[in-house]
Structure 1
Amino acid sequence: MARDCLAFKMHIQRRGVQLDTRCPICHRLDEDGGHCFLKCKLVKRCWSTLSLEPVRQQLLSKQSAWEVVTEILSLKEEARTKTVLFLWKWWTERNKINKGEKGQGVDDVAADVLNLLNDLSKSERKEPIRQTAGNARWKAPPPGQLMINSVQEMMQGSWGFTVRDYEGEVVPAGASRLGSIPDAITAEAAACAQALQAATDHGISRVQVEMDSTILQKAHVSPSMDLAACRMLIRDTRDLLNEHFVCSSVISIPRACNGIAHNLAKLAMCWDPGGRHVWALPEFVETLIARNVVEIMVPITGP
């Protein structure tokens, strides 16, 4: 959504496809992102039913999809969660109607969103306390293996990775600025692919892989994303992992455990897109590594 690349009818027409560009829900005006999510007469009723009309008015003042998403992410937690659930639900209903299926009414859509919000709240209350940024730390691999950590910074359009041994020392590390990437999962997959390729170039074979994307972690150990837009990239990465590495595990970890790779990704923000940079580490990253090594040797406990 932030990249404004959803398959709205006006977008499809701009690619040279001749079609009826009217909104499949109201059949009145041309369908683009603003109309679909904010201006269609039925979507306006949904915003109002969910008590989100003030949010809709805020979003109407934005000039681009990127600004809309940034504004949504800046909302208070309850309004942000409800808005995201509603936009997902509305896009799902829009696609059903566009395929000729019968869609739900406004009240049913709103009820489903509230039920999802309620279920999410219950789930969060039942979940055990997860690691927080204050106590989450990178964990070393067993002796004889190397740990690959890769991340992407979607808002900045860059990625970074590290390959570290059981003592916490970095073997290679790298980063780069991404070109045009349609979504966060594709960017995460690209970062992982680049990290594996760098490990291959250095003759590394026995590894563990860590990433802070649960969706991508599942995609590398199952066919769960084989129908996604980035399926070919994920399949190629999975093949690379199976053919060139002895991989003991692919693990999903908290973002706080991937701090060094994130800092490398942020460093690449100012670079030109393309290419992969694998080099000696900047001084500030060496400081982070030294801190990690100390934490591994002497566990830090909270108050």
Structure 2
Amino acid sequence: MELRSEISNGAPGSSSAGVGRLEENSDQSWKRIWKLPCPTKLQMFVWRIRHESLALCTNLERKGVKLKQSKCFFYGRAVEDGGHLFIRYKVVKEVWQELWLEKERIQLEGITGAHTMLDSVWEMDVNNRVMISTLWWQWWNIRNKVREEELTVSAAELVRRIRSSTIECAQIFQSEPKETRVGKWQPPSHDELKVNLDGAFTPDSSFGGWGVVVRDSDGQIIAARAGRQEHTQDAFQAELNAMGAAVALAADLGVLRVIFETDPQLLADAMDLQKVDSTPYAIVIEDIKFQLKLWFAKHSVRACSRNVNSVANELAHIGSTCLPNDCMQWENNVPPSVAECAFGDLPKHR
């Protein structure tokens, strides 16, 4: 991706900057691309960014292709290079902000070369790597539709798609790092309860499952629910369904001090009371935040690894088998598969 129109040989904005170093690169950055936990098509897109082979107007002109115009297809004034298209254009800025990646965007905005930029991205959390790569890929597709004068989607809809894709990538492609596999569920303090929750969604389906479990400081199950929600569009909505069910269960139990634990960092971020959401799920998110403030004297929403969230994950899969818009509830007589997951988490079995 060309961030500036620098034509000198080997400069960050020229294709020759990447081609000559493809085999010589000692930092293994090329191998990192193929290890990115995402679909192959997204890996290929990131490879094209690294190789500076996207058909940006400035890239095409540098290669001698004559264009009727080389300006931004959105804005019509600025030269279309990678920095403008993916980082500086006002609408794409809104997308970065809605994804709570403004700090990362500002960090990348000051970088002039594609190689240095991707090195900076690779220093970030793996979920941010996938989210930023997905953002660029989705935005590139929208740019191509604008070029062909086709209908596009709103920034809010784009944010929804990016969040959903990031969660799906984590569920399908991302294995737990070895150093975190030994992690166990941590019990709350004696005056609190912990609620673990998870959503389950299969692409191309029209429903999602959810699972919620409440446990005390000894790791004992106080209550559990699992259900199926129809008209679920994506993985992020399935996680929101689980969060809503978790709040409802904790409120029904009369809990005052509670910790909610979920494996998608995106959901934990969405529950931040200091942040305002404007995606298509904004109404649902703000309603859950209101319920959190209404029912609990003290609460927190934390992200954990999927390995730690195994009980809720198993319940979510059970929920997927329920009747449409129905749920099941247990006190301590949970299904054997759920009991096995919880048994392995008890302090004496660590």
Q: Do both share a fold (TM > 0.5)? A: yes
Counterpart in the other structure of 2:122: 121
1:275–1:214 distance in 2 versus 1, CA, 3 Å: same
1:181–1:99 distance in 2 versus 1, CA, 3 Å: farther
Residues 74, 80 of structure 1: 8 Å contact kept: no
- Asked if residue 274 in structure 1 is aligned to residue 325 in structure 2, the reply is yes
Counterpart in the other structure of 1:207: 258
AA aligned to 1:245 is F
Distance in 1 (CA, whole Å) between partners of 2:49 and 2:246 is 31
AA aligned to 1:288 is C
- Asked if residue 139 in structure 1 is aligned to residue 139 in structure 2, the reply is no
- Asked if residue 149 in structure 1 is aligned to residue 190 in structure 2, the reply is no
In the alignment, which of 205, 208, 211 is matched to residue 160 of structure 1?
A: 211
Residues 261, 303 of structure 2: 8 Å contact kept: yes
**1:74 shift after superposition:** 4.7
**1:217 shift after superposition:** 1.2
Counterpart in the other structure of 1:292: 345
1:84–1:143 distance in 2 versus 1, CA, 3 Å: farther
AA aligned to 1:276 is C
- Asked if residue 226 in structure 1 is aligned to residue 277 in structure 2, the reply is yes
Distance in 1 (CA, whole Å) between partners of 2:317 and 2:243 is 16
- Asked if residue 187 in structure 1 is aligned to residue 238 in structure 2, the reply is yes
When the two structures are aligned, how many residues end up with a matched partner?
219
Distance in 2 (CA, whole Å) between partners of 1:256 and 1:81 is 28
**1:266 shift after superposition:** 1.2
TM-superposition CA deviations, 1:143-185 (whole Å, max 9, x none): 0210011111232721111110000011111111221223333
Q: Secondary structure at the match of 1:210?
A: strand
**1:77 shift after superposition:** 8.9
- Asked if residue 75 in structure 1 is aligned to residue 40 in structure 2, the reply is yes
**1:84 shift after superposition:** 11
Counterpart mapping for 1:88-127 below 5 A: 97=73, 104-105=80-81, 116-123=117-124
In the alignment, which of 192, 197, 205 is matched to residue 248 of structure 2?
A: 197
AA aligned to 2:341 is L
1:184–1:160 distance in 2 versus 1, CA, 3 Å: same
Distance in 2 (CA, whole Å) between partners of 1:278 and 1:195 is 12
**1:80 shift after superposition:** 7.6
1:80–1:201 distance in 2 versus 1, CA, 3 Å: farther
1:285–1:104 distance in 2 versus 1, CA, 3 Å: same
**1:205 shift after superposition:** 2.3
1:97–1:123 distance in 2 versus 1, CA, 3 Å: same
Counterpart in the other structure of 2:168: none
Distance in 1 (CA, whole Å) between partners of 2:75 and 2:268 is 31
Q: Secondary structure at the match of 1:123?
A: coil
Q: Secondary structure at the match of 1:150?
A: strand
TM-superposition CA deviations, 1:35-58 (whole Å, max 9, x none): xxxxxxxxxxxxxxx99xxxxxxx
Give ranges in structure 1 of 5+ residues lacking alignment. 1-49, 52-71, 91-95
Q: CA RMSD in A?
A: 3.9
Residues 97, 103 of structure 1: 8 Å contact kept: no
Q: Secondary structure at the match of 1:256?
A: coil
Distance in 1 (CA, whole Å) between partners of 2:49 and 2:223 is 38
1:245–1:130 distance in 2 versus 1, CA, 3 Å: farther
1:297–1:76 distance in 2 versus 1, CA, 3 Å: farther
Distance in 2 (CA, whole Å) between partners of 1:147 and 1:175 is 16
Q: Secondary structure at the match of 1:181?
A: coil
Residues 198, 262 of structure 2: 8 Å contact kept: yes
Counterpart in the other structure of 1:68: none
Q: Secondary structure at the match of 1:208?
A: strand
Residues 209, 247 of structure 1: 8 Å contact kept: no
Percentage of identical aligned residues: 22
Residues 82, 113 of structure 1: 8 Å contact kept: no
Residues 82, 117 of structure 1: 8 Å contact kept: no
Residues 131, 254 of structure 1: 8 Å contact kept: no
- Asked if residue 173 in structure 1 is aligned to residue 224 in structure 2, the reply is yes
Counterpart in the other structure of 2:161: none
Q: Report the TM-score when normalising by structure 2.
A: 0.53
- Asked if residue 256 in structure 1 is aligned to residue 221 in structure 2, the reply is no
1:219–1:109 distance in 2 versus 1, CA, 3 Å: closer
1:116–1:133 distance in 2 versus 1, CA, 3 Å: same
Give ranges in structure 2 of 5+ residues lacking alignment. 1-17, 20-36, 56-71, 87-111, 127-175
**1:297 shift after superposition:** 3.0
